[in-house]
Each structure stands twice: as structure tokens, then as C-alpha cells.
Structure 1
Amino acid sequence: MTMTAARSKRVLDVVSLVLAALIATAAPVLAQTQPPVTPAQEQTLTPVPAQPAAEQVTEVTAPADAEERDATLPHNLSPWGMFMAADWVVKGVMIGLAFASLVTWTVWVAKSLELAGANARAKRALNGIIEARSLREASEKLSGRKGPAALMVQAAAHEVSASDGTLDFGGGDGLKERVSSHLGRIQAQAARRMTRGTGVLATIGSTAPFVGLFGTVWGIMNSFIGISESQTTNLAVVAPGIAEALLATAIGLVAAIPAVVIYNVFARSITGYRLVLADASAAVERLVSRDLDYRLTAPARRKIAAAAE
């Protein structure tokens, strides 16, 4: 019995030693599997108000939104702002077109005054020529006046005076031809003088749209280059350059349309002025022919009068 009890006691001792060893080895493993409680976890246990967090988020995001908004704000799209932001080539085109527009309005003012004065003088002279019964009377009425019509009367009187000796040996056909030649040259010179300056209007009206189109094409090319460099298709980036380019075409049309209209108005006015000069020339030729008939028929009239006596 004593031996059996001793064996049992030994077995219990061995089992207790094994259990103690197992517990000792398992304790570090359990300690590693359970994470330690950190101060952050302790703070999460306390409730955090939501409103201050939202304020912090807005405070952080507000500057970023403002910077993005400033970056996407459009340029100054007024005509002056677009001109100042344009490329130097587009600026040169705009300045040239603005100068062409200034030339157009200057020619309009100057030529309108010139045409109005010339038409008034020609019509007054025409009335005086029509009312006169002889070339000498017409010369007296228009003495001291200026203008092509008065010059026609003076030229005809001078030619009649220069051909005085030839009328006794020949007919008056040569005199009429010479007077008609003088009057035609005076009329042509007056018309040429009146059309001076209108060619500039025709040039501006025909070339200004194409010059503006050149500025537009150049500006759009620069806009596409800017798009490729910025690697963005944002309208706020693309629109200012395109608007600056289109401004050149707009200025070209502003310069061309008035030039064409004013040129057509002047063409009609000059045509009317030429008709007045043609009427004056025809009236002078009638006076010369009348005086010539009186002079050539004077000997026959004297003979008839002498025979009647």
C-alpha cells in the first residue's frame, strides 16, 4: 500500500509540473494577441462634438477652393482688356485696322465737303450759262468765279478769240472741234480730281476683312498652342484667346463695311457731278455754235439789208 501511494504521489507531482510549464509558455502568447489599450482609444471613449470638426474641414478646404476659383476666373473680356492681352501680331493687326477706319472717316468728311461745294458751284455756273444768250455774256456772268464750269467758259472764249482770223477763210467746224477738245479735257480733269481719295476707300473695303481674318487665324493658333502646353480644355482657359482672335475680325468688319458704303455713296455723287459738268460743257458748245452762226451769217445779212435799202 505504501508503494502504491508513493507512485500516485509521483504521478501527481509530474502532472502538476507539466501543467505549470504549459501555463508558463502560454502566458506570453496571450499577452501578444491582446493589443494594449492606447491613449487614442481612451480618447475615443469620450464623445467628440461634430460641429467643430466640420468647421475645421471648411477652414482647410476654403483656401483650396478660393485658389481654384482664382485660377479659373476669366480674363478681362472687355475690348481694351482683350487688346492688351493679345499677341503682338494680333495687336499690330488691330492697330492697322483702327488706323484704316480712321482714314475712312477722315476721307468721308473731307470728300463730302469737297463734293458739296463743287456741286453747288457747278450748278450755279450751269444756270448762268443757260441764261446767257452769247459767250461774251456768259463770260461776264462767270467772271471771278472758280470751278470747272467757269473754266470751260473762259477756255471757249479764249479759243474763239485765238481763232478769230481763221473764220474768214474757212468754216466753223474746226473751231467747234477745238472748243470741244478743250471742254472735254477740263471735264476729265475735274472728274479725276474729284475721284482722288476714293481709291483708298475701295482698298480698305476689299482688304480689311482679310487682314482681320489673318489676325483671327494667328490668335487661334496661339490659343491651340496654349491648350497643348497647359494640357487642359477648360473653357476658362480657352475662351479668352479665342475671343481676342475674333476681336481682330470684328475690327476688320468695322473698318470695311463703312468704307464700302461710303465708296458707293461717293461713286453716285461723282456720277451726278460729272453729269452737271457735261451739261455745262454742252451749254458752252451751244453758245459757241450760236455766236459762230451769227458771225458767219453777218455778211449775208448785211448784203440783204443793203439790197433792201
Structure 2
Amino acid sequence: MTSLDLLAAAGAAAPTRLDPLDLFLDADIVVQLVIIGLILASIWVWMIIVSFSLKMGHTRSKSAAFEQEFWTHDDPETLLARDKGDNASGRVAAAGLNEFRRSTKAGLRDKQGALHRIALAMEGQVAVESDRLADRLNFLATTGSVAPFVGLFGTVWGIMNSFFQIGMQNNSSLAVVAPGISEALFATAIGLFAAIPAVIAYNRFSSRVDNFEAKLQRFADRVQAQVSREMERA
């Protein structure tokens, strides 16, 4: 077999595209651990994205249905007793009405003070509902900011290992260092794969939580106005 035949055979055996599994299996153990950690973080990010989307949609629909019934119901107390705090708007209204009952239990002596306490009670519940929705969004923010640097650490380690191989083999040929550098850069790619969806989802979901919090606050203001009118009639 001539040298031209050998070169042709080598070219035929060479891979024509990157294989992520081969890159992972051929990588240094440190780079492999970095990639595994980033993949697990990415899986958790997507679980949060799916679960939050379902939770947010369910929360918004139940609150909207409650608010619509609340303003048309003849007896809000009966509605709240039936609802049993099953939705965010119901819990906000219950906090305000519970404070109203406590403030007027011994007679209404200070209307402005009572209205202030009712407003504080509902504002506190609005904050609780917002925090409950945003409970796991911090992980998205952390992953979005940290994952690229974790991937970069794996890349730096892999490149250091490639240069170490140059010293061990006394060979600076690109064929010696290229595989190691490819495997190292794969860690950065996985870091970006985990970080980009996390950043997009965090920004999107934070906006949705803020909008829902503003919606609950407007509902609380309307409840307070209704309570104020009831006090004036008393």
C-alpha cells in the first residue's frame, strides 16, 4: 500500500463531525465532573421552567375566577369560607377581612387606624404570595450567572492538561493538543447551554411575578375601598 493509500485510509477513518459523547468520554476526569454538574443543573433548570409555567397559569386562572365571583357575590364571608384560601386573591381578601373583624370587634373607634391596619395586612399577604411564586427563581438566576464560569473552569483545566501533554510528549503538533482543547471547550458549550435558558426564563418569570403582584395589589386596593365604604355606612 502506497503512502497515498495510507493517507486516504486515514482520511476515511477520521470523524466528519463532533460527537458530544466521544468528547465527554475522552475528556479529563475533572472536565467530566464539570460537564456532569452542568448537565444536572440544566435538567433542574428545565424542570423549574415547566413547573413554574404550569403553576403560574393555574394561579392566575384561579385568582381571576375568584375575583370575578368576589365582586358579584352577595356575601363575601360565605365565599371566603367556601374558598378556604385556595387561591392567592382569596388569601389576600381573607387577610383584609380578618383584620377588619379584629379592628371592629369592640366597636369602630379609629377608622383611619383600622383602614391602615387592613391595608398592611393585605400588603403583607400580597408579598407572601409573590415570594411563594418566586421561591425557586433564585436557582435560575444563580445558574445563569455561575454556569458559564463553571464551564470556563473546565475549559481552562482541559487546556492546561493539553499543554501538559505537549511537555510530556515533547511534541507541539496540533494533532497532540487539538483533541484535548476540543474536549475542554465542550465544557464551556455545556455551561452556556445551561445558562442561556436559565437567564431567559428568570427574566421572563420575574416579570410575570411582578405583574401578578401588581394585579394582587390592585385587588387589595379595591377591597380596602369597599371596606372603607362599609365603615362609612356603619
The answer to whether TM tops 0.5 is yes
Alignment equivalent of 1:188, drawn from 110, 127, 141: 127
Cα distance in 2, alignment partners of residues 201 and 243 from structure 1: 28
The aligned counterpart of 2:97 is 157
The aligned counterpart of 1:138 is 76
The aligned counterpart of 2:39 is 98
Report the TM-score when normalising by structure 1: 0.68
Counterpart contact for 1:74–1:236, Cα < 8 Å: no
Amino acid at match of 2:139: V
Q: What is the deviation of 1:129?
A: 3.4
Amino acid at match of 2:202: Y
1:232 partner SS: coil
The aligned counterpart of 2:208 is 269
Provide the alpha-carbon RMSD of the alignment.
2.6
Alignment equivalent of 2:226, drawn from 269, 280, 287: 287
Q: What is the deviation of 1:122?
A: 1.9
The aligned counterpart of 1:245 is 184
Where structure 1 has 5 or more consecutive residues not aligned to the other structure, the ranges are 1-57, 296-309
Q: What is the deviation of 1:152?
A: 2.6
- Return the index of the structure with the highest Cα Rg: 1
The aligned counterpart of 2:25 is 84
- Higher mean Cα deviation, 158-167 or 270-279? 158-167
Amino acid at match of 2:67: L
Counterpart contact for 1:130–1:283, Cα < 8 Å: no
The aligned counterpart of 2:57 is 116
Cα distance in 2, alignment partners of residues 165 and 138 from structure 1: 18
Q: Deviations over 1:184-235 (max 9, x none)?
A: 1111111111110000000000010011111111101111111222222333
Cα distance in 2, alignment partners of residues 237 and 74 from structure 1: 15
Amino acid at match of 2:208: S
The aligned counterpart of 1:28 is none
Cα distance in 2, alignment partners of residues 74 and 154 from structure 1: 70
Alignment equivalent of 1:260, drawn from 193, 199, 205: 199
Task: From the superposition, tell whether residues 175 and 101 of structure 1 become closer, same or farther in structure 2 (CA, over 3 Å).
Answer: same
Q: What is the deviation of 1:142?
A: 4.2
Cα distance in 2, alignment partners of residues 262 and 148 from structure 1: 22
Alignment: residue pair count? 230
Amino acid at match of 1:78: D
Runs of 4+ in 1 over 4 A off after TM superposition: 73-77
Q: What is the deviation of 1:74?
A: 5.6
